């Protein structure tokens, strides 16, 4: 199936988009029956979880035997405190460092954003964009759990020593780290609102934040930033574009991911290289697992590798699940002008979503705008009518 979509933005022109096959219907159960009432959803959701999260990334690491939080610094002057989180098994414990930064001015308990990208350079203004809006940060470095080193063998890092035989990709291990930080926040008596926890991360960290949010319902708001393949993208939609400077770009495929980063994913993904239409899911399944909680998909208009058009398609497909659960107002998407980065503007938009959810009221007018002409949908099913 091939179609021209006349898609464009001010930085690139989309030459061609190819839909390999329609996006699968998340309401259609393994038994061939379609979900028809909301009480059937939890059962179907469990199937979705196995068919998407587990197939892509491998199993979820076990619940830890314990979580103990040791303060390392309480230098309140910068409103930043640092903790060592001890967790894993009693026999083989492991640790990660958690930094909590609270806003100077907070009205009551503040919402908090958990971000595991401590291994990345954070751009100027990124943290301040939330802090100045009364939102705190819980920061950790996911690579303290599983390494992210291309030359090392699959399964390298403390979590694989703690749980010998754990056969999941690094993204699944990193996602587990988000939940351990929430465990720690629950123990600390800090002025934070545990009902308003958001998960975010960028790129590989965005795939991680989405998976973590799909698995851990304590995340009230889930925000994968430019997470592409294995995140908010779309495996069945291929898109080729030409940038203003004449260079070309396209979306990342399973073959690309496994060529560079096989250790991020499950071993089973290999079977689907160049056979995307045989996948029992596409990335809207993972988005739909967040429903009816808040999902905020942030993309960059010029980031072709992350498949911004495909992301919109899988968001529209996930929207059917949000509609079905009566939560359509909890789904947001934003296309920042520019390229691959996690910027202060992304954090500002996330802060806007958090406050709109907490206080009610409108979100930023830049929300929902597309940097391309709206293409036809890549699926023809709709949510069941109740």
* List of residues contacting ligand GCU (CB under 6 A): 203-204, 228-229, 252, 257, 260, 305
Which CB, 261 or 355, lies closer to ligand GCU?
261
Q: How far is the CB of 282 from ligand GCU (least distance, A)?
A: 16
Three-state DSSP state, 285 = helix
Q: How far is the CB of 228 from ligand GCU (least distance, A)?
A: 5
Rounded-to-integer distance, Cα 146 and Cα 158, Å: 6
Which CB, 95 or 156, lies closer to ligand GCU?
156
Q: Specify whether the CB–CB gap between 232 and 204 falls below 8 A.
A: no
Q: Kindly list the strands in the beta sheet with 331-336, ordered across the sheet, starting from the edge strand earlier in the chain.
A: 66-73, 80-88, 93-101, 136-140, 110-115, 192-202, 221-225, 294-300, 331-336
Rounded-to-integer distance, Cα 184 and Cα 100, Å: 11
Stretch (H or E) spanning 70: strand 66-73
Q: Please report how many Cα atoms fall inside a 13 Å half-sphere around the Cα of residue 240, on the Cβ side.
A: 9
Rg over alpha carbons for the chain, rounded to the nearest Å, is 20
Q: How far is the CB of 226 from ligand GCU (least distance, A)?
A: 7
Stretch (H or E) spanning 338: none
Contacts of 176 (CB under 8 A, 6+ apart): 60, 61, 145, 159, 212
Rounded-to-integer distance, Cα 136 and Cα 128, Å: 9
Which CB, 141 or 252, lies closer to ligand GCU?
252
**List of E strands, 263-346:** 294-300, 331-336
Q: How far is the CB of 110 from ligand GCU (least distance, A)?
A: 29
Q: How far is the CB of 229 from ligand GCU (least distance, A)?
A: 5
H-type helices in 90-203, by residue range? 126-131, 158-162, 170-187
Q: Specify whether the CB–CB gap between 197 and 185 falls below 8 A.
A: yes
Q: How far is the CB of 307 from ligand GCU (least distance, A)?
A: 10
Q: How far is the CB of 273 from ligand GCU (least distance, A)?
A: 14
Which CB, 141 or 320, lies closer to ligand GCU?
141
Q: How far is the CB of 87 from ligand GCU (least distance, A)?
A: 25
Q: How far is the CB of 181 from ligand GCU (least distance, A)?
A: 20
Contacts of 340 (CB under 8 A, 6+ apart): 203, 226, 300, 303, 305, 306
């Amino acid at each position: 199936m091939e179609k021209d979509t006349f898609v464009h933005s001010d930085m690139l022109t989309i030459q061609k988009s190819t839909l390999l096959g329609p996006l699968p219907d998340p309401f259609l159960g393994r038994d061939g029956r379609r979900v028809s009432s909301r009480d059937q959803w939890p059962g179907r959701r469990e199937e979705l979880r196995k068919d998407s999260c587990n197939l892509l990334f491998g199993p979820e690491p076990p619940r830890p035997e314990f979580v103990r939080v040791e303060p390392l610094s309480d230098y309140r002057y910068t409103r930043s405190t640092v903790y060592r989180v001890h967790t894993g098994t009693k026999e083989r414990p492991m640790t990660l460092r958690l930094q909590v930064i609270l806003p100077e001015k907070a009205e009551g308990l503040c919402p908090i954003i958990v971000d595991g990208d401590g291994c990345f350079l954070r751009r100027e203004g990124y943290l301040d964009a939330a802090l100045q809006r009364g939102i705190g940060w819980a920061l950790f470095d996911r690579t303290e759990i599983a390494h992210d080193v291309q030359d090392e063998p699959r399964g390298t890092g403390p979590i694989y020593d703690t749980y010998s035989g754990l056969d999941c990709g690094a993204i699944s291990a990193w996602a587990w780290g988000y939940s351990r930080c929430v465990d720690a926040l629950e123990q600390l008596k800090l002025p934070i609102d545990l009902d308003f926890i958001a998960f975010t991360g960028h790129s590989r960290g965005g795939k991680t934040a989405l998976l973590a949010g799909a698995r851990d319902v304590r995340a009230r708001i889930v925000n994968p930033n430019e997470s592409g393949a294995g995140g908010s993208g779309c495996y069945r939609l291929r898109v080729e574009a030409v940038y203003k400077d004449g260079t070309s770009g396209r979306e990342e495929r399973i073959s690309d991911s496994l060529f560079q980063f096989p250790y991020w994913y499950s071993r089973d993904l290999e079977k689907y290289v160049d056979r995307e239409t045989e996948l029992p899911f596409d990335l809207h399944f993972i988005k739909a697992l967040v429903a009816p909680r808040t999902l905020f998909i942030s993309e960059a208009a010029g980031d072709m590798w992350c498949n911004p058009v495909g992301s919109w398609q899988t968001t529209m497909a996930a929207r059917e699940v949000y509609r079905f659960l009566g939560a359509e107002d909890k789904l947001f998407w934003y296309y920042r002008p520019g390229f691959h980065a996690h910027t202060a503007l992304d954090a500002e938009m996330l802060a806007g979503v958090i406050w709109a959810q907490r206080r009610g009221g409108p979100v930023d007018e830049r929300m929902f705008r597309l940097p391309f002409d709206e293409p036809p949908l890549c699926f023809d099913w709709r949510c069941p009518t109740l």
